[in-house]
Amino acid sequence: MAMDAAAAEGSSQKSPLASQRATEEKVKLPSRLFPLEYGKAFSQWWAGITPAAAEASVLQFIPIYSQSLRPATGTEASKPDHTSPPLESTDDRVCASHEVHLTNPKHYLNEFSITRPEEKTKHNLVVLHGYGAGLGFFYKNFDALSKRSGWSLYALDLLGMGRSARPHFKIHAQDRTAKVREAESFFVDSLEDWRKARGLEKFTLMGHSLGGYLATCYALKYPERLEKLILVSPVGIPEDPYAVAAEMPDQESARQAATHQAETAASANVGTGEHAPNPPRRKYPGWFTYLWEANISPFSIVRWGGPLGPRFVSGWTSRRFSFLPEAEAEALHMYSYTLFKQKGSGEYALAYLLAPGAFARDPLKNRFSQIDRNLEIVFMYGDSDWMDAKAGKAVSEALKKDGRKSRFKVIENAGHHLYLDNFESFNSYMDGVLVDTERAA
């Protein structure tokens, strides 16, 4: 599931539970853990809304969506209700949803695009969501990020997540590092397959959270394909010896609790960042260790919950989207529920990439120096972000000290989901980033 809590303070990343407690001191949580009534939960479960329909119900809030096509049908969409007036009829942008099939005939990526068919594309922006989320979470950004002439926008669901194909996930490697690389390649190579299918030579890549981690991995493997790398509250930058030394899952127990969340994670201090031969194992509450090792994740609970599934999901969506208009919050709740209950696939890669505590097994902090020197890297965080913004700032400053292009930005009044919490400021800053990309071309 997507992750959000209080700001990271000090020189180290806060533990999720500590961040959660800090947030609760500022924000009064719902009186019930799962606020959705049983009757409504049953109705939502019984309705059997498809992920495609749920995604469309979110995307309809994009001002230009009335000009789009219905997902995966090719038929014209009926005019939806909007929270803001539609653009003038002179707008030549066209929205479309497609299943883009990859080299493996059983693999495809769900894509939402905004293009100008009558105009030559000079630049492409590709957007990757975070763990457990989907491309629809960026609905507040699509209009603004596609307004510049000469740009095409593509938002993708990661392989094994969202509405993309959900193939069986299995690691064949035996070596620790090889396991990490194989898990990364599951996502990164599918993105490269998608690029080839779309015939794009170069593009600007923006990734949020886990999407930021994977975007960095793509930059490491296919540097010649990127114009700019934009990391929005990326996971996996700081180094933690506990994560580096933690046991890797074996094939029999790989289906572990696959998500780290502010609502369900443990409290712990961050390590010094220095490797030790056998650093002491971090102490976690027994329930957390059990859930992680027994492959009981929030997604599993939703899948097993049947009619209670929507109610379980409301425990997160009621807080995450509480600041939005009711219609939008409801659409996002149903969208989240339909994604969370899908067959497990890409989520099982997480245990190979991250150890309990959301620290990378191969920290990005040690890998940025390997990225093409000519590629500018942008780091963005919310001012109440539980991710370690200081780690991102330190990397950005180190890159600039080495004569490379990088910038660091904190969006005010925003948490981990800064693109949604303060979408206006986020979109404004991103517009400047796109302008600079044009000038550098």
- Residues with a catalytic annotation lie at 209, 385, 416
Tokens of 124: 């492409």
Q: Say if residues 29 and 235 touch (Cβ distance below 8 Å).
A: no
In whole angstroms, give the CA distance from residue 181 to residue 226. Answer: 20
3-state secondary structure at position 295: coil
Q: Say if residues 64 and 143 touch (Cβ distance below 8 Å).
A: yes
Give CA 319 to chain center in angstroms.
Answer: 18
Cα–Cα distance list, 292 to 5, 67, 96, 231 (Å)? 20, 45, 38, 27
Kindly report the CA angle at 150 between 147 and 151, in degrees rounded to 5?
Answer: 60
Give Cβ neighbours of residue 199 (< 8 Å, ≥ 6 apart). Answer: none
What one-character-per-residue DSSP string does 337-363 give? HHHHTSPP-GGGGHHHHEETTTEESS-
In whole angstroms, give the CA distance from residue 282 to residue 246. Answer: 9
Burial annotation 223-240 (CB, 10 A radius, 16+ → b, else e): eebbbbbbbbbbbbbbbb
Task: Please tell me the total number of residues recorded for the chain in this structure.
Answer: 441
In whole angstroms, give the CA distance from residue 399 to residue 397. Answer: 5
